[in-house]
Amino acid sequence: MDPHTAEFGFELRVCRWAEMAWPPGEPAGDDSEIIVARQLGTKGRRWDTIVLECDPEGLRRRANFGPDRLDGDLRHVVRNAPAEWTYYRDALPHPGYPWRYVREAIHRADDRGILETRKSGNRIEIRRKWPYPDWVDRIVAIENKPDLDASAARALGSQLEYDVAVGLADEVWVATRPTGERVEPVLFEDLPVEAGILAFDPAAPTAEVAWYPRSLAVDEPGTRILERPDGGARDDSAARFEYVEPEAKAEKRLAIAERAYERGWRSFVDTMRPDCRHFQLRADGVGDAEAAGSGTAGQALPYCAAKGCAQTAAECAGTCPDFEPEPPAWRTRGWPIEGGPGTRYKEILDRRRRRRRSGL
């Protein structure tokens, strides 16, 4: 199988497994709730899978603010909005950028129904509807490498060193396919000891911990590695790095959590072509979308009938040579008037995504 296809399917299965069985190696407790997302991070580093361990009560209160993320400007407003009517410039700390952007954010928050506003003369006054809750306990990053050979491990090693140095996630893991040997050979490869290793069987799906991670110091200053010497015999230059303050890290963590909350991991369909006649959503072991939508079956995964395999998000685009729009008749006979199977697939995934967010 094409390695990209294999990696994409592996990643979706890791996401599904994490949603059901996180944390690995422990019985699931009810003291935290899990939100899983994929392909998120910072400008310099994108993680394959992200697991948010959330405070259940905080998560329910976060739902007051709706399913869409709160960007930095909105967070500045709702986190500092007072309990009593107050002129916005008296209520909010100076944002470090012009106040007109704050006014824009206030209007957006008002439009979304997450802030109360009124005019008093020329002045805009604001009052909070709900306090913004502390809803994220921990952020866990998982890199998915189904086939971790020596060269893949070397490349991954420097990415993980970056994660460990910055300490933006509480834990980092590598998920890889088990080899069946007594000691997973990946343990001998060049990965930082702080990273955990999961031997993940995508068919089951189940995971065993081959190496436990160390918790990273998210509340302490981090070090962002900007450049590292290549280490050759003539290269004695020093690595370049910069410090990242704990406040900046906390803000970045919340930004990542908000995006994860909005997107989840089933949003893969947003960048694919479910309106193509060959697009299918298959439930593991059951094989059709109806079962996938029933909520009782296994995982709903994309499948391309033209290619006869699970396609990647990159392949399944308008540039795909096999793309054919779904016939108009599919939109009128037996399917809801609003759309054909493509629309229905999106609805199935949206419903599942919502079910994972308490209070929505």
Span of 45-53, 172-180, 247-255, 310-318 interacting with ligand SF4 by CB under 6 A: 310-318
Counting contacts by CB under 6 A, is residue 278 touching ligand SF4? yes
Provide, rounded to whole angstroms, the least separation between the CB of residue 284 and ligand SF4: 18
Counting contacts by CB under 6 A, is residue 307 touching ligand SF4? yes
Residue 122's alpha-carbon distances to 74, 97, 107, 118, 128, in angstroms, are: 22, 21, 15, 10, 20
Nearer to ligand SF4, 176 or 311 (CB): 311
- Strand pairing report for 300-304 and 279-283: antiparallel
Provide, rounded to whole angstroms, the least separation between the CB of residue 315 and ligand SF4: 5
The sheet carrying 206-211 orders its strands as 33-41, 46-54, 136-144, 171-176, 196-201, 206-211
Provide, rounded to whole angstroms, the least separation between the CB of residue 321 and ligand SF4: 8
**Contact set for ligand SF4, span 216-275 (CB under 6 A):** 273
With CB under 6 A, what is the number of residues at the site for ligand SF4?
Answer: 13
Nearer to ligand SF4, 161 or 322 (CB): 322
Span of 7-15, 80-88, 198-206, 306-314 interacting with ligand SF4 by CB under 6 A: 306-314
Q: Is the peptide bond between 178 and the residue preceding it cis, with omega within 30 degrees of 0? A: no
Counting contacts by CB under 6 A, is residue 322 touching ligand SF4? yes
Selection from 244, 248, 228 nearest residue 236 by Cα: 228
- Tokens standing for residue 61: 């209160």
Nearer to ligand SF4, 209 or 306 (CB): 306
Of 33, 170, 315, 326, the residue at the interface with ligand SF4 (CB under 6 A) is 315
Compute φ and ψ for 11, nearest 5 degrees: -65, -45
Of 51, 139, 156, 276, the residue at the interface with ligand SF4 (CB under 6 A) is 276
Counting contacts by CB under 6 A, is residue 306 touching ligand SF4? yes
Span of 12-20, 41-49, 313-321, 348-356 interacting with ligand SF4 by CB under 6 A: 313-321
Q: At what angle do helices 99-111 and 72-80 cross, to 10 degrees?
A: 80
Place of tokens 């070397």: 154
Nearer to ligand SF4, 7 or 322 (CB): 322
Counting contacts by CB under 6 A, is residue 313 touching ligand SF4? no
Counting contacts by CB under 6 A, is residue 301 touching ligand SF4? no
End-to-end distance of the chain based on CA atoms, in angstroms?
A: 39
**Inter-residue contact 290 to 277 (CB < 8 Å):** no
**Inter-residue contact 141 to 169 (CB < 8 Å):** yes
Provide, rounded to whole angstroms, the least separation between the CB of residue 312 and ligand SF4: 8
Using CB atoms within 10 Å of the CB of residue 237, give its burial: 0 to 12 exposed, 13 to 18 middle, 19+ buried.
exposed
Give every CB contact of residue 299 below 8 A, 6+ residues apart in sequence: 12, 13, 16, 283, 284, 292
Nearer to ligand SF4, 120 or 271 (CB): 271
Nearer to ligand SF4, 130 or 335 (CB): 335
Q: Which residues bind ligand SF4 (CB under 6 A)?
A: 273, 276, 278-279, 304, 306-307, 311, 315-316, 320, 322-323
